[in-house]
Structures are given as structure tokens and as C-alpha cells.
Amino acid sequence: MAKLKILHFPDSRLRQKCPKVEVFDTNLEKVVEDMLETMYAENGIGLAAIQVNIIKRIIVIDISPDRNEPLILINPEIQDKKNEIEFEEGCLSVPGFYEKVNRYNNITFKAQLPNGEFYTRDVDGLLAVCVQHEIDHLNGKLFVDYISSLKRDRIAKKIQKLEAEGKKFERKNVPYSI
Ligand code: QAP
Ligand code: CO
């Protein structure tokens, strides 16, 4: 296993539309393992492959308190969505910033496992929001795209400044329960 480097907003590499996974091989399994290691090391609840510069439709999620219920979503598609909610989100690629976003509280999604097997799940609440957030990544979209461009540009400048100073990002005070 290996911990991978996370790209930070406003890196333009986060803006790519990712193609589907076509080959279900041991390399895919290794990518998934490395993504899980990276997500756990960074105290995240979700990570899309594009965030670690792998341009494929691969997502890992774990919202469990004990960090031992990994979900793997390859080529995910939302099939049904209902009940709009407002949810305060963060992102490992936008460290230290949180904003309210409009999402759906209930979704049905279809995805594949690393062995290529298809599955369908109904999810709600935090997990549903996390799936929507991560699928946005696969289409080059970030949660800051839902806020005003003034706020977004301010966040971009702050992150760039911190990065230029070589500072470690604060990883405390994550507002949702993990
Ligand atoms: C996406 O986000 C998400 O700024 C996953 O300092 C977020 O794992 C889905 C994180 C909220 C639904 C609701 C962010 C950790 C992790 C930070 C994350 C930070 C430390 C974000
Ligand atoms: Co994110």
C-alpha cells in the first residue's frame, strides 16, 4: 500500500472529466487500496481518484465511526434522487474550508466493484451527500463551484498562499461526524 499525494483546489487537474474504468485487473485493486490508505491517513470520509491524479471513475468512501466499512464505487451512476437538503461540506482538496451546498437526501446509485460486478444501493443522509460530492469530482466539479465566485476566488487565493508558504493544512474541526 502507498499513501498518495492529494491535489488541492485551484489545481486545473481537478477539472478533468474522468473516463470509465474498462479493465478490472490487479492494478485497479492496487489503486483502490492506495486510495483507501490515503483517505484514512487524511481523515477523510470520501476520495475520488482524480484527487490523487488518477483520471478514472473510481471512488472510495467510509463514513463509519470506526473507519472499517469501506465502500468502493467504480463507474457510479445516480439512478434516482429525492428530497432536497442543504448540507455543509468540506473536501480533502479544499482543506480547511466548509460551505453549505444543496443536495438530495435520498439517492439510488448503481456502481461496480473492483472485480467488475454491478450492484445497486439506496442510501440517505451523509452517505447520500458523500456519493453526490464524489461523483461531482469525476465530472471535474468541486463543492466550491456551488458558492459565489467571490468566495471561491478568496478560498483559492488562501490555499495558494498557504501552499506557497509550505504550511501544513489544519485538519481539525471537521464539522461532520467521522
Ligand atoms: C466529501 O470530504 C464530503 O478540510 C468528503 O481539514 C464532505 O472527506 C461529503 C477533510 C462532507 C459529505 C459531506 C476536509 C478533512 C475531509 C478538511 C472529506 C480537513 C480535514 C473531507
Ligand atoms: Co471532495
CB atoms within 10 A of CB 54: 14
Answer positive or negative: Cα dihedral of 164, 168, 174, 178: positive
Q: What is the pLDDT of residues 73-111, one digit of tens each?
A: 999 999 999 999 999 999 999 999 999 999 999 999 999
- Residue 169 has a pLDDT of 65
Asked whether the beta carbons of 134 and 47 are under 8 A apart, the reply is yes
Band (pLDDT 50/70/90 cuts) for residue 1 is confident
Cα-trace Rg, the chain? 16
- Residue 177 has a pLDDT of 41
* 51 vs 73: CA distance, rounded Å: 15
Band (pLDDT 50/70/90 cuts) for residue 167 is confident
Task: Name the DSSP class of 167.
Answer: P
Nearest ligand 1 atom to alpha carbon 173: 6
**Ligand 1 pocket test target in 86, 133, 162 with most atoms within 8 Å of CB:** 133
* 105 vs 78: CA distance, rounded Å: 13
State in Å: Cα 58 to ligand 2 middle: 13
129 in contact with ligand 1, CB cutoff 6 A: yes
| Ligand 1 atom 20, closest CA | 171
CA of 126, nearest ligand number: 1
Band (pLDDT 50/70/90 cuts) for residue 170 is low
Asked whether the beta carbons of 83 and 105 are under 8 A apart, the reply is yes
| Ligand 1 atom 16, closest CA | 44
Nearest ligand 1 atom to alpha carbon 178: 8
174 in contact with ligand 1, CB cutoff 6 A: yes
Helix (H) or strand (E) holding 112: strand 99-112
* Pairing of β 58-61 and β 46-48: antiparallel
Task: Give the end-to-end CA distance of the chain in Å, rounded to a whole number.
Answer: 23
* 88 vs 98: CA distance, rounded Å: 6
- Residues designated as active site: 134
